[in-house]
Amino acid sequence: MRATARVTEKREGDGIGAYSNAMWGGRFAAGPGAIMREINASIPFDKALWREDIAGSRAHAAMLAAQGIISGEDAAAIDAGLALIAQEYELEGVPEDWDLEDIHMTTESRLGELIGAAAGRLHTARSRNDQVATDFRLWVRAACERAEAGLAALQRALVTRAGEHAADIMPGFTHLQTAQPVTLGHHLLAYYEMLRRDRSRFAAARARMAECPLGSAALAGTGFPIDREATAKALGFARPTANSLDSVSDRDFALDYLSAAAQCALHLSRLAEELILWASQPFGFVRLPDALSTGSSIMPQKKNPDAAELVRGHSGRIAGALVSLMVTMKGLPLAYSKDMQDDKPPVFEAAGLLELSLAAMAGMIADSSFDTARMRAAAEAGFATATDLADWLVREAGVPFREAHHIAGAAVKLAEERGTALDALPLADLRAIDARIDERVFAALSVENSVAARASYGGTAPTRVREQVEAARQELGMDD
């Protein structure tokens, strides 16, 4: 009610045009028309920047006072007023007065109501151009940190489950066809590695955005003796940006975030797709937690993997957000253009979807139950040790690999015709295919020995999986 009453009072006293004119300055004789008012207003979405906007303004006012540009008394009043506005926003939300356009003018207007003329000194030596560039950069920096935290939580879940299933055998697939046996722990750690790269991308993006645009003003800098190092330090940046034109027109930091988010979402989508497949009755490898599944309105037996499907679906929206901002920025001349007002909605949407997806996947991995007996049976049923037969012929009989591959293929064909597993074929039948095969081959054809034999660095052997689990636990600080 506070915001509505304030706007009504302004309209009754001065009219929309006069009030808007007061905020815009003397250049315009009347306020924008209804269409312009609606297309121009960004407060419905950029109100999300209120914390960053107030932090930037408080740092700016403190610097102005330290440099003798405004008085200490005015700076103190500004700071106290901004602190009170932050309390109001926290408790009541940010009011949406479209005549004030955005979060910056909304806050400055409220500050004027609270402290009077001193509020007008806050905007000395800055523009909304460097103000929004700073606010948005602060918001995206925090979004990178939230993404990294969400990724770490999912990594911990993956590593925990990988340790539990370091020796449990399942079929490994290529082309979604049974290829070679692997361990479930090894499979889960593959996603751990993808997420390691995702975390590095967010960290690199955060490092690149560690420069503060505040003080670049509209596009050319300012004639006031400001201290940009001070405001950069106060806001947690490593340094100020080096070029004022680039500072107000740069949105690379947002594109960096979206690029990292899109690739991360791609990885989450792949993991979600596997869980969806594994949870289906033909696979039956996993039972997803009830809390992240839904039922059917008509079929009582159904347990739908809706959370995983939504994570898979969200990946497309996150990738679309990246494309949206790239297309917005691709043809803009220096410096600021109003097109850039559309930079925030795709970033806000992508961040919300990504953080929700990470939390959902961490819950799914942590609370799912795996049917390891069914996984093992599937590995045994798909002739997954055919490569082991070829490798045995190379290693023990000196057969060239291409010839060994042909012999192993013939053995698979025979087992398929007999409806039996490869290691269940009689030795006599195997020797009829190639006389160099002897009884030692059966040790190589078991899924346990097949998995154990893949002991090269990064392989699926349980000893290697346990080593990788321990390395990952140390990297994540899980043993501290």
| Cα(420)–Cα(196) distance, integer angstroms | 41
Across the strands, what pairs with 181? Answer: 171
| Cα(421)–Cα(424) distance, integer angstroms | 5
CB neighbours of residue 225 within 10 Å: 10
| Strand bridging mode 211-212 / 239-240 | parallel
Examine the residue annotation and report whether 165 is marked as an active-site residue of this protein.
no
Return phi, psi of residue 189, to 5°.
Answer: -70, -20
- Pair 353, 322: CB distance under 8 Å: no
| Cα(64)–Cα(227) distance, integer angstroms | 8
Return phi, psi of residue 238, to 5°.
Answer: -75, -30
Q: Which of 175, 297, 369, 456 is catalytic?
A: 175
Examine the residue annotation and report whether 259 is marked as an active-site residue of this protein.
no
Helix (H, G, I), strand (E, B) or coil at 436: coil
Q: Which of 71, 200, 280, 296 is catalytic?
A: 296
8-state DSSP, 332: P
| Cα(42)–Cα(437) distance, integer angstroms | 75
Cis status, amide bond into 335, omega within 30 of 0:
yes
Angle at which helices 462-476 and 128-164 cross, to 10°: 140
Catalytic machinery residues? 175, 296
